Amino acid sequence: MNERRQNVIVGLFALGGLGVLVILVLMFGDVLTFLSAKTYKVNVIFPEGATTALREGTAVTLNGKRVGQTTSIDFRNPKRPADGLIVAVAIEGSYGLPHGTKAQVLTSLMGFGRPALQLIVTKDIANNPELPRNGSGEVLGDLVPMLDQLLPPQMQTTLTTATEQIGRLADALTPVAADMHRLLDVRSIDDVDRDKAQQLTANLYTAVQRLDTTLKGLNMIVSDPHNQENFAATMANVRRTSDEFALLTRDFRGSLVKWDQTLDTVKTNVDTSSRKLADVADSADRLLTTAQKTFVLMNEGKGTAGLFLNDNRLYESMVLTTDRLSKAIDEIREILSLMKKGELKYRVF
C-alpha cells in the first residue's frame, strides 16, 4: 500500500511538471496570445520554392516583430511543382500589410535553428493601400541564401572582382615565377665554366657562390700575418700622411689669411687711388672749364689777351715797335764794330 501510494505521488508530480512546462512554452512562445487574437489570411508566393525547414507553424515576423505564423504549405499548381509554393500565413488582425510587402525566408546558418519568415515593409511603400483581409492578398516571397546572410551582395561583388583580379595577377606572375625559378636554379661555377656552348648561363645561385668564394679568398688574405703586418704599416703611413696633410692644410689656411689681408690692402690702395683719380678728374674738369671760359672771353675780345688777339692796331704797333727795335739793334752793332776797329773814338768819364 505504501509503495502504490508512493508511485501515485510520483506520477502526479510528473504530470504537474509537464503541465507547467506546457504553460511556459505557450507563454514564452506567444501561442496563447496568438490563439486568442483575431487573424486574417495572406498568401506568400515563392516562385523558386523555399527551404525544407519552412513548416506549418513557423513564426512570421514584420520588421523584426512576430505578427503571425504559417498555417499551410502547398504547390501553386500541384500538376506543375516547378511553378513554386504558396504558403498560407495567419496575420494578427491588429497589423496591416500594405501593397508591395515582401517576404524573405532566411536559411538556417550551419543547419542549426529553424528559419523565420520575415515580412519587410519599407518607407517607400508604407503609405500604399492595405492588402485585403479576405484571404486573397498575396505577397511575393524570396529565399535568402546563407551566403547573402553572411555577406552583403555588394561585398560579394567586390570579393568576386578581387578574386578575378587575383587570378589575372597570378596568371601574369606565372612567367615571373618561372624566371625566378631559373634564376634560383642550382648552377655551380664549375657547371657554368665547363659549358663551352654557353647554353648554361650564370644565375643568382652562381653569383652567390662566386661571392662566397671571393669572401673566402678575401678572408684568407686578411688572415695572413704577413698581410696584416703590411696592412698595419700601410695604416701607419696613412696616419702620417694624414698628419702631414693636416699641417699642409693649416699652412694653406694661413696663406689664405695672408692672401685675404693682401687683398684687403690692395682693395684699400685701389680705393685711395680711385679717390685721388676722382679728385684729379675733378681738378682737370675745373681747369678745362676755366680754359673754356678763357677761350670764350678771348674770342669775344675781352681782357688783355682778347684785345691782343682781336685789336689790329695793337698788332700793327707791336710790329712797328719790333721793326724799330731791330733797326736800333743793327745801329748798335755798327757802332760796336767801329769801336772795335778804332774808327770811332770814345771817352769814358
Nearest to 85 by CA among 32, 22, 165, 139: 139
Q: What is the pLDDT of residues 272-285, one digit of tens each?
A: 777 777 777 777 77
Residue 90: what pLDDT? Answer: 92
Q: Which residue has the cell 689681408?
A: 261
Who wins on pLDDT, 55 or 72? 72
Helices of type H across the chain: 2-28, 31-36, 146-150, 153-184, 189-194, 204-223, 225-300, 303-310, 312-341
Q: Compute the distance between CA of residue 47 and CA of residue 76 in angstroms, rounded to an integer.
A: 9
Residue 43: what pLDDT? Answer: 92
Mean pLDDT along residues 150-156: 75
* pLDDT higher than threshold 70 for residue 185: yes
Would you say 51 and 149 are in contact if contact means Cβ atoms under 8 Å apart?
Answer: no
* pLDDT higher than threshold 80 for residue 116: no
**Interior CA angle at 233 toward 228 and 235, to 5°?**
95
Q: What is the pLDDT of residues 288-344, one digit of tens each?
A: 777 677 766 666 666 665 666 666 666 677 777 887 888 878 778 777 777 676 665
* pLDDT higher than threshold 60 for residue 111: no
Query: E-strand spans in the chain?
Result: 39-46, 59-62, 65-75, 85-92, 102-106, 117-120, 138-144
Give the confidence band of 32 by pLDDT, cuts at 50, 70, 90. Answer: very low
Please state which of the ranges 34-38, 241-245, 345-349 shows the lowest mean pLDDT.
345-349
Nearest to 118 by CA among 75, 54, 73: 54
Who wins on pLDDT, 266 or 164? 164
Mean pLDDT along residues 105-117: 66
Q: What residue type is assigned to position 144 of the chain?
A: V
Give the confidence band of 148 by pLDDT, cuts at 50, 70, 90. Answer: low
Mean pLDDT along residues 9-37: 65
* pLDDT higher than threshold 50 for residue 34: no
Residue 129: what pLDDT? Answer: 92
Mean pLDDT along residues 135-151: 78
Q: Compute the distance between CA of residue 184 and CA of residue 203 in angstroms, rounded to an integer.
A: 7
Strands 59-62 and 117-120, bridge-based pairing: parallel
Residue 305: what pLDDT? Answer: 59
- Residue-averaged pLDDT of the chain: 77
Q: Compute the distance between CA of residue 154 and CA of residue 164 in angstroms, rounded to an integer.
A: 15
> Can you say whether residue 198 is alpha, beta or left, with left for phi > 0 and alpha for psi between -120 and 50 degrees?
left
Q: Which of 116-125, 216-225, 265-274, 279-288 has the highest mean pLDDT?
A: 116-125
Give the confidence band of 81 by pLDDT, cuts at 50, 70, 90. Answer: confident
Give the confidence band of 18 by pLDDT, cuts at 50, 70, 90. Answer: confident
Q: Compute the distance between CA of residue 336 and CA of residue 332 in angstroms, rounded to an integer.
A: 6
Nearest to 54 by CA among 114, 140, 101: 114
Residue 25: what pLDDT? Answer: 57
* pLDDT higher than threshold 60 for residue 249: yes
Residue 113: what pLDDT? Answer: 58
Would you say 138 and 45 are in contact if contact means Cβ atoms under 8 Å apart?
Answer: yes
Q: Compute the distance between CA of residue 117 and CA of residue 70 in angstroms, rounded to an integer.
A: 8
Q: Compute the distance between CA of residue 105 and CA of residue 47 in angstroms, rounded to an integer.
A: 13
Residue 65: what pLDDT? Answer: 86
